[in-house]
Amino acid sequence: MRKGIYFWFTIIFAAAVIAGGYIYFGHRPVTLTVSEVLPAVGESLPYVLVIAPGDQIGAEIPEEVVRKAPLRSKPYYRLMRGLLPLAGFSKESALLAAGARDTGKAELYGAFLFTIKETSALSTGRVPENWKEALPEASLGKTGNRSLLRLGADAPELYFITRGDMLLVSLEEAGIDRMIEAIDDPVSRMNVSWKLETAWPGHFLFNDGGVLAEKASLKGLDVGSDVLRLEAAWKKTSDEGLLAWSVDGIEGWIPAEIGKALKGHFWREELYMPEPLILAAGFNIPRVVPGGSKLWGELSEAAETIGVGASLLARVLEGPALLVIGGRSRLLLADLPGFLLELPDRGKDGIELVEALWERDFMRVPMEPRPLNGFEAGGSLSIPLSVVGAASEDLVVMGAMDVSKLGELLPPKDVVDLPESALAWIYVDFPKAAEALRNLGTAGSLAQRIGISGGEGLEELAESVERLTQLGKILVIMEDYKTGRIRWEQ
């Protein structure tokens, strides 16, 4: 008897709790994820989807960018300037921006997971206290029986409702209705299957809906009709992060002969990576086929300018190449960052090219080079500019560099964290770049004092790059022309 009473008491108590929640919040509790309340968007419409926890949202739109935005776009820049911090202090967020439907207006949907305390404040017409520092201009209002949220004085108003601990927003009242429908009807929900790094917390998807291919066809370009789909995933901490991307539907945009030539490389050759290393970029240059193509025409012009045959230049350029900024070069009394172009395994063609360049006053310096140890042709100069142009069958090096700062020959993988194979990659150390550009600013002042034009521009460049020191170190890798990764460190 007592067991039966206990059983029914438990059932009644649970029902009372559920009913109380319904009465208090005005609707049934939601147990869906933020992505499951977004309405479906057809593949024929362009859209952007972002889903991430708050601690993975770190970007913001500077006020300067908003001020410079076109007049028609400025309100939406201000809206995004408010939405990003809103997403940043949510537990989880999902933002969907879609192209026009029959309304002729772009659509925006947002779902944010907060605490019950925050959503309760919103449902009673109050801005949560912990929002006020990050969103000082946030305010609430009403239109009919709908609630409005404004994230900035000049930002568009957002319709919103709360469902349990979830905040749902949209630019249109009909958008809120679609989100409610998505809650009640799984068929009407956005259905996205992530293909890339599914265990990572942050995800991004851009679907062009075939719009770009359509515009290309109107200009007479045959790129096919495939929908372009860019997917990205990322994870980050306070001092480092990793992002991966993949592009589908891009095949029609790349000529077949170029697509076949774009191959990865192992980057095992021993090359110069001079310190301080500011920038290193590796890329695998495809073969330029002789003929009437625009690329061959440009290469022929370049060959004529430097006084060598086009076929020779094409053979030397084909293959892995490394561009390096670092070490030191010297112009008169000023120390500057050096730069090098390195072409490994070019054989006798590389030697022939370097010899021809020196015969035609390499780098416009009419002097005989000093031989460089380990190289059969060319060499270096130190006055008035640090110049190097040397070749062996194993390596061609050309650029402006003090050869005493070349360092040792070693594989790029020993310095930069590269995968087994990569089509192209670039590594940038922004703090070192800022330090080097301080020296450029000094050189600019010196140039102005001795009457050389262009010094003013160098100082402005130094001031601009100084702001980038907060980016730390960045490594961008293209594994092939469809996939890649970005790694950054503060």
The residue among 197 and 191 whose pLDDT is bigger is 197
- In a shared domain, residues 181 and 281: no
Q: Yes or no: say if 138 and 81 are a contact pair by the CB < 8 Å rule.
A: no
The residue among 160 and 449 whose pLDDT is bigger is 160
| Domain stops at, among 374, 409, 428 | 428
- In a shared domain, residues 305 and 182: no
**What confidence tier does 247 reach under pLDDT thresholds 50, 70, 90?**
very high
- In a shared domain, residues 181 and 265: no
**What confidence tier does 27 reach under pLDDT thresholds 50, 70, 90?**
very low
Sign of CA dihedral 101, 205, 241, 245: negative
**What confidence tier does 440 reach under pLDDT thresholds 50, 70, 90?**
low
- At which residue do the structure tokens 């921006």 appear? 97
pLDDT recorded at residue 178: 95
- In a shared domain, residues 157 and 300: no
pLDDT over threshold 80, residue 439: no
**What confidence tier does 460 reach under pLDDT thresholds 50, 70, 90?**
low
pLDDT over threshold 50, residue 3: no
User: In terms of C-beta density within 10 A (0-12 exposed, 13-18 middle, 19 or more buried), how is residue 167 classed?
Assistant: buried
Is 467 within a domain? no
Is 333 within a domain? yes
Average per-residue pLDDT for the chain: 84
pLDDT recorded at residue 457: 54
Residue 297: enclosing H or E segment and its boundaries? helix 294-306
Domain count of the fold of the chain:
2
- In a shared domain, residues 160 and 263: no
Q: Could you tell me which of 80, 66, 71 has the C-alpha nearest to residue 108?
A: 80
Which DSSP symbol is given to 385?
B
Give the max Cα distance, the chain. 110
Is 454 within a domain? no
Which DSSP symbol is given to 332?
T
Beta bridge partners of 304: none
**What confidence tier does 93 reach under pLDDT thresholds 50, 70, 90?**
very high
pLDDT recorded at residue 476: 97
pLDDT over threshold 80, residue 18: no
- In a shared domain, residues 276 and 180: no
pLDDT over threshold 70, residue 317: yes
Sign of CA dihedral 150, 155, 160, 163: negative
Q: What is the three-state SS of 191-259?
A: CCCCCCCCCCCEEEEEECCCHHHHHHHHCCCCCCCCCCEEEEEEEECCCEEEEEEEEECCHHHCCHHHH
- In a shared domain, residues 61 and 160: yes
Distance CA 106, CA 104 (A): 7
The residue among 308 and 469 whose pLDDT is bigger is 308
Is 18 within a domain? no
Q: What is the mean pLDDT of residues 234-255?
A: 92
Q: Yes or no: say if 346 and 354 are a contact pair by the CB < 8 Å rule.
A: no
Task: Give 198-235 pLDDT, tens digit per residue.
Answer: 999 999 999 999 889 888 888 888 888 889 999 999 99
**What confidence tier does 463 reach under pLDDT thresholds 50, 70, 90?**
low
pLDDT over threshold 80, residue 62: no
Q: Yes or no: say if 267 and 320 are a contact pair by the CB < 8 Å rule.
A: yes
- In a shared domain, residues 316 and 413: yes
Indicate the range of 60-64, 153-157, 337-341 predicted with least confidence: 60-64
pLDDT over threshold 70, residue 84: yes
- Count CA within 13 A, CB hemisphere, residue 441: 14
pLDDT over threshold 90, residue 447: no
Q: What is the mean pLDDT of residues 466-482?
A: 86
Query: Can you list the positions of beta strands (E) in 332-441?
Result: 334-344, 377-381, 387-391, 395-400, 409-410, 424-429
- In a shared domain, residues 187 and 261: no
User: In terms of C-beta density within 10 A (0-12 exposed, 13-18 middle, 19 or more buried), how is residue 359 classed?
Assistant: exposed
The residue among 457 and 166 whose pLDDT is bigger is 166
Q: What is the mean pLDDT of residues 251-265?
A: 82
pLDDT recorded at residue 28: 40
pLDDT recorded at residue 470: 75
Query: Can you list the positions of beta strands (E) in 269-418?
Result: 271-272, 277-285, 319-331, 334-344, 377-381, 387-391, 395-400, 409-410
Q: What is the mean pLDDT of residues 462-470?
A: 65
Query: Can you list the positions of beta strands (E) in 345-407?
Result: 377-381, 387-391, 395-400
CA 62 to chain centroid: 17
Is 60 within a domain? yes
Q: Yes or no: say if 217 and 78 are a contact pair by the CB < 8 Å rule.
A: no
Is 78 within a domain? yes
Q: Could you tell me which of 117, 148, 111 has the C-alpha nearest to residue 131?
A: 117
User: In terms of C-beta density within 10 A (0-12 exposed, 13-18 middle, 19 or more buried), how is residue 94 classed?
Assistant: buried
| Domain stops at, among 172, 192, 212 | 192
- In a shared domain, residues 163 and 295: no
User: If DSSP codes are grouped into helix, strand and coil, which group holds residue 361?
Assistant: coil
- Count CA within 13 A, CB hemisphere, residue 49: 27
Q: Is the peptide bond before 276 cis (omega within 30 degrees of 0)?
A: yes
Q: Which domain holds residue 48?
A: 31-192
pLDDT over threshold 80, residue 9: no
**What confidence tier does 13 reach under pLDDT thresholds 50, 70, 90?**
very low
pLDDT over threshold 60, residue 131: yes
Indicate the range of 234-238, 288-292, 401-405 predicted with least confidence: 288-292
Task: Give 368-394 pLDDT, tens digit per residue.
Answer: 889 999 999 999 988 777 889 999 999
User: In terms of C-beta density within 10 A (0-12 exposed, 13-18 middle, 19 or more buried), how is residue 385 classed?
Assistant: middle
At position 97, the amino acid (one-letter code) is A
- In a shared domain, residues 263 and 188: no
User: In terms of C-beta density within 10 A (0-12 exposed, 13-18 middle, 19 or more buried), how is residue 355 classed?
Assistant: middle
Is 51 within a domain? yes
| Domain stops at, among 145, 175, 192 | 192
Indicate the range of 51-60, 401-410, 412-421 predicted with least confidence: 51-60
- In a shared domain, residues 182 and 297: no
Q: How far apart are the first and last CA of the chain?
A: 67
Is 350 within a domain? no
Q: What is the mean pLDDT of residues 329-338?
A: 79
